[in-house]
């Protein structure tokens, strides 16, 4: 009887151990699922964060490029003659000496030459004034080739003025300036009213 009782208790213990092992396996499986789900969520969040960072970086790069491009394309100048010029010979480049605007610093105040900083379409205007009875021609030149002409005078005992506007497609590095033409009988250009201006319009 004692042996039977021991066998019965032993069987009950085995059953309890089996039940506990099954419960432990269920808990382990449940925990693994939770961990796996957490890893998936973490990976998804990391992927989303990486995508978000990449988008932000690309947007920042595009903004930087756009700002740099805008700064490069902000080209405009307006120069005027700082003092009267007289006895000007044919081909003499007008050295204006002063500006009211020089966005992009492409216009050289000392030489009177504008160097194209970016290829595209530009608008130029230029004017000459004289208060003596002489005829003056002035050319706007691109690399030495005339693109437009101003004629002013003669008007007896009065100020005379000539102006013109021209739109040109230019290539980066080309030079633009105003010079006295051989066709005029020039005597004097008056300051302030003798001007040269230009601006970048578009590519």
Q: What is the mean pLDDT of residues 135-152?
A: 91
Provide the pLDDT for residue 170: 98
Q: Which of 143, 139, 137, 134 is nearest to 188 (CA)?
A: 134
Q: Which residue has the higher pLDDT, 102 or 29?
A: 102
75-202 is classed CATH 2.40.50.140: no
Q: Mean pLDDT across the stretch 67-72?
A: 54
* Residue 39: predicted pLDDT: 58
Residue 57 pLDDT greater than 60, yes or no: yes
Q: Supply 82's token pair.
A: 């700082």
Band of the pLDDT at 145, cuts 50, 70, 90? very high
Domain ranges for the chain, please list them. 1-73, 75-202
Q: Is the pLDDT of residue 107 over 90?
A: yes
Tens digits of residue pLDDT in 84-96: 888 788 888 999 9
Query: Using CA atoms, how far apart are residues 88 and 152, in angstroms rounded to an integer?
Result: 15
């Amino acid at each position: 009887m004692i042996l039977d009782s021991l066998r019965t208790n032993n069987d009950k213990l085995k059953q309890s151990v089996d039940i506990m092992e099954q419960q432990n396996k269920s808990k382990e499986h449940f925990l693994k699922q939770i961990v796996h789900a957490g890893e998936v969520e973490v990976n998804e969040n990391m992927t989303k964060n990486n995508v978000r960072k990449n988008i932000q970086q690309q947007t920042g790069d595009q903004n930087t490029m756009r700002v740099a491009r805008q700064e490069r394309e902000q080209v405009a100048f307006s120069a005027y003659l700082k003092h009267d010029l007289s006895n000007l010979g044919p081909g003499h480049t007008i050295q204006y000496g002063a500006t009211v605007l020089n966005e992009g610093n492409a216009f050289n105040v000392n030489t009177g030459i504008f160097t194209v900083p970016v290829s595209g379409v530009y608008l130029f205007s230029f004017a000459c004034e004289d208060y003596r009875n002489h005829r003056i021609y002035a050319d706007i030149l691109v690399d030495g080739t005339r693109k437009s002409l101003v004629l002013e005078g003669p008007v007896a005992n009065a100020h005379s003025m000539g102006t013109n506007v021209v739109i040109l497609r230019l290539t980066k590095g080309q030079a633009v300036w105003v010079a006295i033409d051989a066709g005029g009988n020039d005597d004097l250009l008056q300051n302030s009213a003798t001007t040269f201006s230009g601006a970048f319009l578009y590519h």
